[in-house]
Structure 1
Amino acid sequence: MTTTHTPHPIPSQVLKELRTTDDAGRPMTPFTDEEGGAPLRCCLRRSEPGERITLVSYAPLRRWAAETGAAPGAYDEQGPVFLHADPCPGPPDPAALPFTDAHRVLRRYSADGHILGGRLVDTDFPSALTEAFADPEVAVVHVRAVEYGCFLYEVRRA
């Protein structure tokens, strides 16, 4: 049996809010990305040189909890994410798992928003996600960068 794991970018309504005031209460400050390569959480691809982007504070578990009724308590955290400063069309391939070109951490959460564990992944992301969701307690998985611990995207139980 093949399991499909769909990455979820930050939802468009949340992007609209973050482009006004981020989850830390700060206004958006756009800039031109001269070098490119920033992992954009709105469209799940890397920025191109010359694109207008922004770095905002985002609370992914808090946003998910508000939608699902979970109560993450101390696991509610916020951190920096890059976005296009203006609306974009979203992921070029909505089914593709992005940012798998480096070591990543898969952080597993229960339906009540509590952390269940994590795993370092360097290859075979689909198998690692299948393994994570083999635990019936896992409701959502955050894919995070190893270097800074930044949230990249979430994968929800199908």
Structure 2
Amino acid sequence: MAHTARPIPPAVLRVLRERDDAGRAMAPVIDEEGGAPLRCCLRRSAPGEHIALVSYAPLRRWAARTGVEPGAYDEQGPVFIHPEECAGPDGDGHPFPGGRRTVRRYSADGHILGGRLVAGVEELDDAFAEAFADPEVALVHVRAVEYGCFLFEVRRD
């Protein structure tokens, strides 16, 4: 993979476990079936694993670190995380293979520059290369098409 998929950073996870980006307290559950895409470690949950669904605003968090104002592009949405600290990603490659994805491109000032629909993992590297060929692109967000959920972030290496 030409670019690295970034999970939600551990410092942000600590905050989300106390109060999420919508101001709600975390409510852990047992995932009976498994398969939830965990954004803390970029893998799917196992049956019987403890997980939590929290609201996360990835662009807002990035903008706060970089000192920009994303304006109307500041979105928040649901993400699954472990309710306690975990080891983070344990592998290389693309997380959450399979399914259609959108690759949204953002500028250094936090505004959307466009996007691309990809049909599977094999197209992600091409979408990243296309995005980062544009010098205006600072980062991309990969989202699931079915629910629009944020999956992971990729920045220039």
TM-score for the superposition, normalised by structure 2: 0.96
Per-residue CA deviations over 1:96-142 (Å, capped at 9, x if unaligned) read: 22123111000000000000001001132111111111111000100
Q: Which of residues 92, 101, 104 is equivalent to 2:101?
A: 104
The whole-number CA distance in structure 1 between the counterparts of 2:118 and 2:130 is 12
Aligned to 1:71: 69
Aligned to 1:49: 47
- Asked whether 1:141 is paired with 2:143, we answer no
Aligned pair count reads 155
1:92 aligned partner, one-letter code: D
Gapped runs of 5+ residues in structure 2?
A: none
Gapped runs of 5+ residues in structure 1?
A: none
Contact 1:100 1:125 in 2 (8 A): no
Per-residue CA deviations over 1:51-86 (Å, capped at 9, x if unaligned) read: 100000000000000111121001001000000111
Listed as ranges, the matches of 1:82-121 within 5 Å are: 82-93=80-91, 95-121=92-118
1:124 aligned partner, one-letter code: E
Q: Secondary structure at the match of 1:74?
A: helix
Alpha-carbon deviation of 1:4?
2.0
Seq. identity, %: 70
